[in-house]
Structures are given as structure tokens and as C-alpha cells.
Amino acid sequence: MYAICLQIAARSTCFLLYLTRKAYNCLAVFLILKQLINTLQLKTFYYILVLILVFSGRAVQAQQVDSIFFHLYTDSLKKGVHNYINVDGKLSNGQWQPLTAKDLHFTASAGRFEGNDLIVDTSFKGEKIDVKATLKANPQLWKEITIYIKTVDTTERLKTMKEVLPGSSSPGRKSKKSRRNP
């Protein structure tokens, strides 16, 4: 009888560890523990509980950043504006997480950082800037990229209200007054 209880305890322990490690249904773990209390001796239950707590602690550890990547929204930097430098971290479980200045230390060959924003002075004469992002939690993990400065000035004229909104000044259109009184 005691050997059968130990086999049930061993199989149940493996199953509980699997459930706990994968962080599946907590209710199922509770129900199995309740069943073990009813069927096994109290001493065996305590050993199983200690094993579960030891092995589940390893599964709860936070995911760590394995590598970092730049995912820029633009192909060039503009002078005098906030250029957002988007950096994402690939976690050890394969998922992506956006990284901010709280997670990274930014350096650049020119300009200054405010958070993730690189601000390039309007008097900057170079054609490119080297940006480096270093993970604060692991300074050995860093990535560097060269970003060019936008060279063509696009000072396009914005349309006026009359050009944007249809009104009486548009050719081929009748005003509201003329439509009411035929």
C-alpha cells in the first residue's frame, strides 16, 4: 500500500511540476493538491509541497533581454526636431519588448538625447551620426547604428483654409444660398 502511495505521489509531483513550470491553471494545481492531501500521508505531502515550491521558483524568473535591435521609423534624422530612436529587445522566450531610456544608455557622435529622442542641432554640418544603445542591466550587450542626416529641405507650403475646405470661391460649385433659391 505504501509503495502505491509513493508511485501516485511521484506521478502527481511530476504532473504538478509540469503545471507549475508552465504556469497553467492554478485551480488545477489546487485541486490536485487537495486530492493529494486526502489520499497521501501528511509527511509525503510536505515533501511534495517543498519540491513544488523549489522548482516553481525557477519558472517564475523574469525573462531577460538576449539581444537588442534598432527599428527606426525613418531613414534619416532631421535637424532641430526630436528624432525618436526606437530600440526593441528580444527576450529569451522569443518575444519582443520595447526598450526605453530607463533600460538603455544612449550615446551619439553628435546631438543630445532626451529619453529616446535624439535632438540634432540645426548648425550640425556632418552627413551622419553614429548612435549606440547599451543595455543598463548588461553593459556587454550593445548595438550601434549609423543614421544619415536629411539633406533635402522640404519646405512645402501648406494649403490655406479656402484651398482645403470647399467654398464659394471654388470654380464650378454653387453657394448654399444659390441652391436654396432656384
* Mean pLDDT, residues 7-33 taken together: 56
Question: If you average pLDDT over every residue of the chain, what do you get?
Answer: 77
Is residue 17's pLDDT more than 50?
A: yes
Listed by start position, the domains of the chain span: 2-59, 65-149
Q: Which fold has domain 65-149?
A: Immunoglobulin-like (2.60.40)
What pLDDT is stored for residue 9 in this prediction? 54
More confident residue, 74 or 144: 144
What pLDDT is stored for residue 19 in this prediction? 47
What pLDDT is stored for residue 60 in this prediction? 47
Is residue 16's pLDDT more than 60?
A: no
Percent of the chain whose predicted confidence (pLDDT) is above 90: 41
SS (H, E, C) the chain: CHHHHHHHHHHHHHHHHHHHHHCCCHHHHHHHHHHHHHHCCHHHHHHHHHHHHHHHHHHCCCCCEEEEEECCCCCEECCCCEEECCEEEEECCCCEEEECCCCEEEEECCCEEECCEEECCCCCCCCEEEEEEEECCCCCCEEEEEEEECCCCCCCCCCCHHHHCCCCCCCCCCCHHHHHCC
* Mean pLDDT, residues 124-134 taken together: 94
* Mean pLDDT, residues 143-148 taken together: 95
